[in-house]
Amino acid sequence: MLGRVNHVAIAVPDLAAATAAYNTTLGAKVTAPQALPEHGVTVVFVELPNTKIELLEPLGEGSPIAAFLAKNASGGIHHICYEVEDIIAARDELKKNGARVLGDGEPKIGAHNKPVLFLHPKDFFGTLIELEQV
C-alpha cells in the first residue's frame, strides 16, 4: 500500500527563520511560502534529492499547528507523509483494518494539489501519518 516517503513535516514557530536556516545555513533549495487556509498552515518545502522536508507555521488561531507548538515551543517533527497510488482504496483498507482517519474521512487537497488524508497518531505509535495520492 505505502509508496515512498514524500516528506517529513516539521512545525516551526517562525517560518522565515526556519527557511533561512535551511537555505542559508544548510544550503538547501527552499520553495516560496504557500498559505493553505483549509489546513490552517503556511508551508515551504525544502527540496532534497531523495525526499522533501515540509516546514509548517500556523495560519490563524484555529490552526492545528498552533496547538502542537503550544506543547513544543521550539517546534519539532509533526508528521510523515507517505505516497499511495489510490487514496480511497488505501483509506478503505486502513479503516477495514481498524485505523482511524482524521476529519470527516474524505480526502482534502494538500500542498501539492493532490488528495491527502491524515491517520490518527495513536494507531501508529504516536506518529501522525499523512497519505498523499501520487
**Spans of the chain, pLDDT less than 50:** none
Please state which of the four CATH numbers 3.90.1010.10, 2.30.30.110, 3.10.180.10, 3.40.50.970 is assigned to the domain occupying 5-133. 3.10.180.10
Q: What is the pLDDT of residue 79?
A: 97
Q: What pLDDT, in 10s, does the model give residues 88-126?
A: 999 999 999 999 999 999 999 999 999 999 999 999 999
* Number of CB atoms found within 10 A of residue 126's CB: 7
Q: How far is CA 36 from the centre of its chain?
A: 12
CA-wise closest residue to 128 among 85, 76, 87: 76
Quick one: pLDDT at residue 60? 86
Sign of CA dihedral 40, 75, 117, 28: positive
Does residue 85 carry a catalytic annotation? no
Give the domain ranges of the chain.
5-133
Residue 63: alpha-carbon gap to chain centroid: 13
What is the pLDDT at residue 62?
Answer: 87
* Catalytic residue chosen out of the listed positions 54, 57, 83, 130: 130
